[in-house]
Structure 1
């Protein structure tokens, strides 16, 4: 065992340690580190969790990249059909990192009941539709059957169902404007499933049913659709993949990523990255300042010991290491409690959803969390490293202590 570590350990475990002058200051420093770690873990977990959840919801209803005709590029409603016979469909083999591609078509309509009416967008999907994206949000019933004969089954949001007074199993009439704006097409639908994504912008808009209804209403051919929705493996590469997809499509088609289509949402999400950085800087700064104060008090409290060690031949760096070992112990102790409490709070939120949010403002019903052990490990390593580097400065005061004066220090 190294001498410096042995002495530091004896100082920590000494009986008079708890009753010393530095005891309350050390407790404050440990508490500050613990609170700082709790705040940093929660800010990263909730910030990244919210970003991932909103990205997931937006992509569930739109895909990651949307391929459509130029007239439909900025619209949620399909106006001009495109052929389903494309080189990239049903498998986008020319671009790596494409997970799935599906054909959809949308039509604006109005749902009317005896007591209310609501404007909606009927999103028609087919056999290739990735239903896993919606299963998470299903609160009642089941998903419509898109793979067999044409039926009247639809999936409606809890928001629309409540506003229209509809329940699972109810039938309703939807009016669709004809292409020449001369009259309406009426369709009867039956609710077989109710979803709640918590994203009110989509919940108040989309009713999901069979794409063949849209094709018949618009008098399209069976091989004509509104657009393609493309899903990528890695969302962080969405801009790069979006450019590659655009280059691989014909000149008659355009493509757009959801980051471009919903830029206002993703620009808002970028603010969370800035907020997280600010919180990390402030918390590490507070923790470091508290540790600097605690270390200075420890040094002043052990001035006589420093003088005795120097008189016995110990060099400055050896003595500095004693106090850095002591500081490291305090930091680790604070981090232990910070991690324990921080991760505990995240687990409570993840499994019980204690903290609720307003979906109109945050697009989610409860605060989502992403417990990433790699990020937590980096936080701990970064905090320890920064604190110890900064503590090298106040430990320099040991070099100014002389044995002749310090031994008589009282």
Structure 2
């Protein structure tokens, strides 16, 4: 054990036994660090949770990457592409690809006796992954699809069902504006609610064969191919890789390219987090500077004695820096307990609820990213330590004779 650490340890042991006037000030400094760390941790956990939840919902309605016809047409009435085994081979040779399925979309109007609602029928194939909708069902169930038999069952959102006053098992009449106009009768198999109102009120999930029939497409003609990846990492790189290998008349777009406004909005949340982190570090740093100066002023006589015994300025400064780190670690411990405890309760019991019409979710989301938590703690220690080096220079101005004489 080095001498500086030993003295700092004894210094704090003495502090615990001594009810000095500095104790409340040091406790306030510890509390400030604890609250600053708690706010920083909660900010990171909430914002990353928010971004992950929104991203998962957008991908749930679509996919990470979409292959479609190379066209300027941005409507839901897309030109068909011809799928083939070679196209599947190109896609599946990438190890990051988790799942692929075909789809098609077509705008339509649902009409009841009292209401009219514009929607988009999204037709999916038998290999579609229903996990996202199964997790968000509020009534009924997802329907099974077959390669040979067309099904009239559909999924509709809870918002749309309430607007149209429809329920499970009810018939749904949808009109398609084309030449000539077409009408299709569906049966509601399930009702979902993702709390993402912009998409919930838009999509009705059905069998792709209906859209192929309405558009007079062949069995191998679809609106596009949806590609789900194992994770969000390297999304742009994988999209570019697939784009370079598919036929020239096909286009590959990532979900960020299809909905840039949403992901730009999500990226803005990172700015808010950075501002909070900087402000909290400033608050914690100022309080630690105050605590360090109090420690130095209270121990002026000890500083003089140490210098008289031959200790150099840096050695004495390290004694007080170790003492300050002790305070920081106490604050970190309490801050982590507060933040992780509250986050756990929120994750388990959804204590704080949100308006889904504004925030696209029913409750405050929490994401436990332990790497980020560890880095935040280590970063706080390093930043606070570096900040404290400057005010500790005051120790170099203290001379042994004056310190011992006037202490």
User: Which range, TM-score by smaller chain?
Assistant: over 0.9
Using the TM superposition, give the Cα deviation of residue 78 of structure 1 relative to its aligned residue in structure 2, in angstroms.
3.5
Give 1:313-352 correspondences, 5 Å limit. Answer: 313-352=310-349
| 1:142 matched to 2:141 | yes
In 1: Cα distance, 2:153 partner to 2:204 partner:
10
* Cα 1:18/1:41, change in 2 over 3 Å: farther
| 1:306 matched to 2:308 | no
Assess if the C-alpha contact under 8 Å between 1:11 and 1:17 holds in 2. Answer: no
Using the TM superposition, give the Cα deviation of residue 2 of structure 1 relative to its aligned residue in structure 2, in angstroms.
3.2
Using the TM superposition, give the Cα deviation of residue 96 of structure 1 relative to its aligned residue in structure 2, in angstroms.
4.3
In 1: Cα distance, 2:287 partner to 2:351 partner:
32
Gaps of 5+ in 1: none
Match in the other structure for 1:42: 42
| 1:409 matched to 2:393 | no
2:354 to 357, 361, 378: 357
In 1: Cα distance, 2:153 partner to 2:362 partner:
27
| 1:281 matched to 2:278 | yes
Using the TM superposition, give the Cα deviation of residue 73 of structure 1 relative to its aligned residue in structure 2, in angstroms.
5.1
* Cα 1:136/1:409, change in 2 over 3 Å: farther
Match in the other structure for 1:114: 113
Give 1:191-202 correspondences, 5 Å limit. Answer: 191-202=188-199
1:254 to 247, 251, 254: 251
Give 1:59-208 correspondences, 5 Å limit. Answer: 59-71=59-71, 74-75=74-75, 77-85=76-84, 87-89=86-88, 92-147=91-146, 149-178=149-178, 180=179, 182-183=180-181, 185-208=182-205
Using the TM superposition, give the Cα deviation of residue 18 of structure 1 relative to its aligned residue in structure 2, in angstroms.
5.4
Give 1:236-247 correspondences, 5 Å limit. Answer: 236-247=233-244
Using the TM superposition, give the Cα deviation of residue 378 of structure 1 relative to its aligned residue in structure 2, in angstroms.
0.5
In 1: Cα distance, 2:361 partner to 2:51 partner:
11
Using the TM superposition, give the Cα deviation of residue 6 of structure 1 relative to its aligned residue in structure 2, in angstroms.
2.6
| 1:388 matched to 2:378 | no
Partner of 1:37, secondary structure, is helix
Partner of 2:84, secondary structure, is coil
Using the TM superposition, give the Cα deviation of residue 115 of structure 1 relative to its aligned residue in structure 2, in angstroms.
2.3
Using the TM superposition, give the Cα deviation of residue 70 of structure 1 relative to its aligned residue in structure 2, in angstroms.
2.9
Using the TM superposition, give the Cα deviation of residue 363 of structure 1 relative to its aligned residue in structure 2, in angstroms.
2.4
In 2: Cα distance, 1:350 partner to 1:213 partner:
41
Using the TM superposition, give the Cα deviation of residue 84 of structure 1 relative to its aligned residue in structure 2, in angstroms.
1.9
Q: TM-score, normalised by structure 2?
A: 0.94
Assess if the C-alpha contact under 8 Å between 2:90 and 2:245 holds in 1. Answer: no
Using the TM superposition, give the Cα deviation of residue 107 of structure 1 relative to its aligned residue in structure 2, in angstroms.
1.3
Assess if the C-alpha contact under 8 Å between 2:90 and 2:242 holds in 1. Answer: no
Partner of 2:104, secondary structure, is strand
In 1: Cα distance, 2:73 partner to 2:144 partner:
28
What do you get for the CA RMSD once the two structures are aligned? 1.8
| 1:27 matched to 2:27 | yes
Moved more, 135-144 or 82-91: 82-91
2:227 to 206, 226, 230: 230
Match in the other structure for 2:292: 295
In 1: Cα distance, 2:89 partner to 2:154 partner:
24
* Cα 1:91/1:145, change in 2 over 3 Å: farther
Assess if the C-alpha contact under 8 Å between 1:17 and 1:23 holds in 2. Answer: no
In 1: Cα distance, 2:44 partner to 2:104 partner:
38
Partner of 1:19, secondary structure, is coil
Using the TM superposition, give the Cα deviation of residue 310 of structure 1 relative to its aligned residue in structure 2, in angstroms.
1.9
Aligned length: 406
Assess if the C-alpha contact under 8 Å between 1:73 and 1:254 holds in 2. Answer: no
In 2: Cα distance, 1:231 partner to 1:303 partner:
65
In 2: Cα distance, 1:132 partner to 1:289 partner:
49
Q: TM-score, normalised by structure 1?
A: 0.94
In 2: Cα distance, 1:153 partner to 1:209 partner:
7
Partner of 2:233, secondary structure, is helix
